[in-house]
Amino acid sequence: MINTDYLKNLNKAQKEAVLHLDGPLLIVAGAGSGKTKVLTSRIANLIKNKKAFPNEILAVTFTNKAAKEMQNRVSKILNSSATGLPWLGTFHSICSKLLRKHASAANLNSNFTIVDTDDQIRLIKNICKSENIDIKKLSPRFILAIIDRWKNNGYYPNEVKINRKDVFEKTILPLYRIYQQKLTDLNSCDFGDLILHTVKILENYSDIKKIYSNNFKYILVDEYQDTNFIQSKWLNLLSEKNNNLCCVGDDDQSIYSWRGAEIKNFLEFDKVYKNTKIIRLEENYRSSKNILSVASNLISNNQKRVGKTLTTNMEKGDLVKLNCFKNGKDEAIGISDEIEKKLKKKFSYNNMAILVRAIFQTREFEERFLKIGMPYRIIGGTKFYERAEIKDCVAYLRLIHQEKDDLAFERIINNPKRSIGDSTLKTIHEYSKKNNLSLEKASIKMLEQNLIKPKAKVGLNFFLQALNKWRNDLLIKKISHIKLLQIVLDESGYSGMLKNKKDLDNENRLENIKELLSAMKEFDNLESFLEHVSLATSIDQEWDGEKINMMTMHASKGLEFDVVFLPGWEEGLFPHQKSIEEKGQNGLEEERRLAYVGITRAKKKAIISFSMNRFYQGDWIDSMASRFINELPEQNLEKNSFFDEEVEEVEDFDFNQDFEMEEETRSPGWIRYQKRIK
Catalytic residue positions? 35-36, 222-223, 253, 601
Phi, psi of 90 (to 5 degrees): -80, 165
Distance CA(246)–CA(235), nearest Å, equals: 10
CB of 385 closer than 8 Å to CB of 391? yes
CB of 289 closer than 8 Å to CB of 315? yes
User: CB neighbours (10 Å) of residue 8?
Assistant: 8
* Nearby residues of 395 by Cβ (< 8 Å), 6 or more positions away: 407, 408, 411, 412
Phi, psi of 646 (to 5 degrees): -70, 130
Using DSSP's 3-state secondary structure scheme, residue 631 falls into helix
CB of 222 closer than 8 Å to CB of 194? no
CB of 531 closer than 8 Å to CB of 334? no
Name the strand (E) or helix (H) holding 93: helix 91-101
What is the SS3 assignment for 583-625? HHHHHHHHHHHHHHHHHCCEEEEEEEEEEEEEEECCEEEECCE
Name the strand (E) or helix (H) holding 353: strand 352-356
Question: For 416, which DSSP code?
Answer: S
Work out the angle between the directed axes of helices 206-215 and 191-204 (0-180°, nearest 10): 100
Q: Which residues pair with 189 in a beta bridge?
A: 114
Among 362, 277, 265, residue whose Cα is nearest residue 17: 277
Q: Which residues pair with 355 in a beta bridge?
A: 551
Name the strand (E) or helix (H) holding 58: strand 57-61
CB of 26 closer than 8 Å to CB of 280? no
Burial class (CB in 10 A: 0-12, 13-18, 19+), 553: buried
Alpha-helical regions (H) of 436-503:
439-448, 454-475, 481-492, 494-500
Question: For 565, which DSSP code?
Answer: E
Using DSSP's 3-state secondary structure scheme, residue 12 falls into helix
Q: What is the Cα gyration radius of the chain?
A: 28
Name the strand (E) or helix (H) holding 369: helix 362-372
* Nearby residues of 653 by Cβ (< 8 Å), 6 or more positions away: 324, 326, 612, 642, 645
Distance CA(463)–CA(439), nearest Å, equals: 13
Among 226, 191, 30, 166, residue whose Cα is nearest residue 114: 191
